[in-house]
Amino acid sequence: MSQQLIIQLSDDAFAQLQLQAASQSMSPAEIATADMERLYSRSQHGDGNAPLRTTKQPARGLLRKHFGTFDLGCPVGTDNEQIDADLAREYGSTHEE
C-alpha cells in the first residue's frame, strides 16, 4: 500500500530539491520520495522508529561537488565536424607506422 503526502517547502528548500533532481535526471517528487523512503523505511533499520543514518550520504555529497568541474582547456565532443574528421582519419589509416 502507498500513501500520498502533500508538503509545503520554502522557496530555498524547493530550489535545492530542484537542483538535486536535475543533477540526477529525476523530478523533485522522485527525489523527495526516495529520500523519505530511505529515511523512514522499516526494512532499512528494523524497528521503524528511528530515522536511518547513512554514512554514504556525506561521501556522495563530497563527490558530487566535483561533478562538471574537469576542464581540458578545449571543448571535447561538442564539435561534430571535428569528430567526423577524426573518425574519417582513423578509419582511413592503416595504423602502420
Sign (positive/negative) of CA torsion 69, 70, 71, 76? Answer: negative
Q: Are 17 and 32 in contact (CB under 8 A)?
A: yes
Model confidence pLDDT, tens digit, residues 34-85 = 888 888 876 555 554 554 455 566 777 777 776 765 666 766 667 788 888 8
Question: Considering the entire predicted model, what is its pTM?
Answer: 0.42
Rounded CA-CA distance 40/34 in Å is 10
Which among 55, 59, 60 has a CA at the least distance from the CA of 31?
A: 60
